[in-house]
Structure 1
Amino acid sequence: MMKSLIYIGVFFGLSACARSGQPLRTGDLLFQAGRESAMGGAIKAATGNDCELQFTHVGIAVIGDRADSVLEATSDGGVRMTALQEFLNKSARPDGRPLVVAKRLKDTAGVAAAIARARTFLGQPYDYSFRPDNGKLYCSEVVRESYLAPDGSRIFPARPMNFRAADGSMPPFWSELFAKLGEEIPENVPGTNPNDMARDTALTEVFRWF
């Protein structure tokens, strides 16, 4: 969510993944342009680009024989497993199709280990503070902490977070949220967001639903 802040119709099913790409695999990252909400609007204002799709959420695909799910951190449930269909239903849906894009690491050697790490975060609360190492996680933070290079470093970099809109103003949502938390807005604290992560050169697009 944000510009180096933290910053997912008709569902055709995995059998229809030929619509616009390859079948999903466990470990694919699902980038979502969410429906309008106060938080989504604030994220979009901080990370948006009028010329590109603006992602406000990301989850990790977990594809199984019986059910397909998404491991995600949500503001209403913390880190949890969500049915893939439910995840798609939460996205913006122009023309009835979810604005969700699946991207895959070009080097998939460490994906199994990443999923194992991601599962250890299940049950952790959502990180409204957007600060590192506080026992809480936001959506792109789950991904960053799960996907590591062979040397143990994180594949996705943290960058100074921006909570301000393009005109330099601070969206009321952030001011009100951090006032309630009794914390300062973590402007310039290192973090991640779905928009930046989706454009990382370590990823390649494999499927989209629209």
Structure 2
Amino acid sequence: MYFIKKTILIMIVLVSPAGLYAQLKSCLVKEGDLIFQTSLSAQSKAIQLATKSKYSHCGIIFKDKNGYFVLEAISQVKRTPLAQWIARGQGKAFVLKRLRHADQVLKPAVVMKMKKVGQDLSGKNYDLTFEWSDDRIYCSELIWKIYQRATGLEIGKLEKLRDFDLSNDIVRQKMKARYGTHIPLNETVISPASIFNSSLLSTVSLN
């Protein structure tokens, strides 16, 4: 009986936000790491289908006096405590990725510059139409621009909207709701999938 109770307790701890954070912390999270999840948002399925990827949302990890947080574009560009961010995804699953040779590239001064770029974009509303401007920002655009502007590195290949698989009815319906009949097929876009698959990144943790 004691063994069963102990096992149940361990399971509860591991699936709790605090437990998930402890798991991730044990992987030695670093500032500048990128984290991916399957979002539960209304557009998540359309993004998955269009990009042929399991992951539909992403953010970049930084640290302040309160601990690690994810800078993300959701309703707007904002900070979300890491444990809270993990708990919000489908099945609380996530993938943590890191820039290859991060120790050589992401020196303290560079990380500070990345934070400054992120701060300049903070508070901007989420970009529902995925436009390549700073007026509004979406999740993968935030990551790409922070890295490009602070380090000169392009994490993920820029594409055009027409490059994605737009054939599924779920995708078509979402695009019609966003754009009407004038779909900007030549709009420059960066997807979570493109960043996820970048050869500049290595996987640190898969949960």
Shorter-chain TM-score above 0.5: yes
Partner of 1:205: 203
**Selected match of 2:23 from 16, 26, 45:** 16
**Selected match of 2:79 from 75, 81, 86:** 81
Does the CA-based 8 Å contact 1:43-1:163 persist in structure 2?
no
**Selected match of 1:47 from 46, 51, 75:** 51
List gaps (5 residues or longer) in structure 2.
Answer: 1-14
Instruction: Measure the CA separation in 1 of the matches of 2:159 and 2:77.
Output: 22
Instruction: Measure the CA separation in 1 of the matches of 2:146 and 2:132.
Output: 14
Write the mapping of 1:129-144 to structure 2, written as runs, cut at 5 A. 129-144=129-144
Partner of 1:5: none
**Selected match of 1:105 from 85, 96, 99:** 99
In the TM superposition, what is the alpha-carbon distance from 1:141 to its structure 2 partner?
Answer: 0.3
Does the CA-based 8 Å contact 1:23-1:207 persist in structure 2?
no
Residue 129 and residue 169 in structure 1: after superposition, are their counterparts in 2 closer, same or farther (change >3 A)?
A: closer
- Which structure exhibits the higher relative contact order, with contacts defined as CA atoms closer than 8 Å and separated by 6 or more residues? 1
Instruction: Measure the CA separation in 1 of the matches of 2:150 and 2:90.
Output: 36
Q: Tell me which structure has the larger Cα radius of gyration.
A: 2
Cα deviation digits, residues 99-146 of structure 1 (max 9, x gap) = 211100013214513232122111111111211125111000001111
State the identity as a percent. Answer: 24
Instruction: Look up the equivalent residue of 1:67 and give its one-letter code.
Output: G
Residue 118 and residue 124 in structure 1: after superposition, are their counterparts in 2 closer, same or farther (change >3 A)?
A: same
Secondary structure of 2:96's match?
strand
Instruction: Measure the CA separation in 2 of the matches of 1:28 and 1:79.
Output: 17
TM-score by length of 1: 0.77
Instruction: Look up the equivalent residue of 2:24 and give its one-letter code.
Output: C
Residue 17 and residue 126 in structure 1: after superposition, are their counterparts in 2 closer, same or farther (change >3 A)?
A: closer
The answer to whether structure 1 residue 173 and structure 2 residue 171 are counterparts is: no
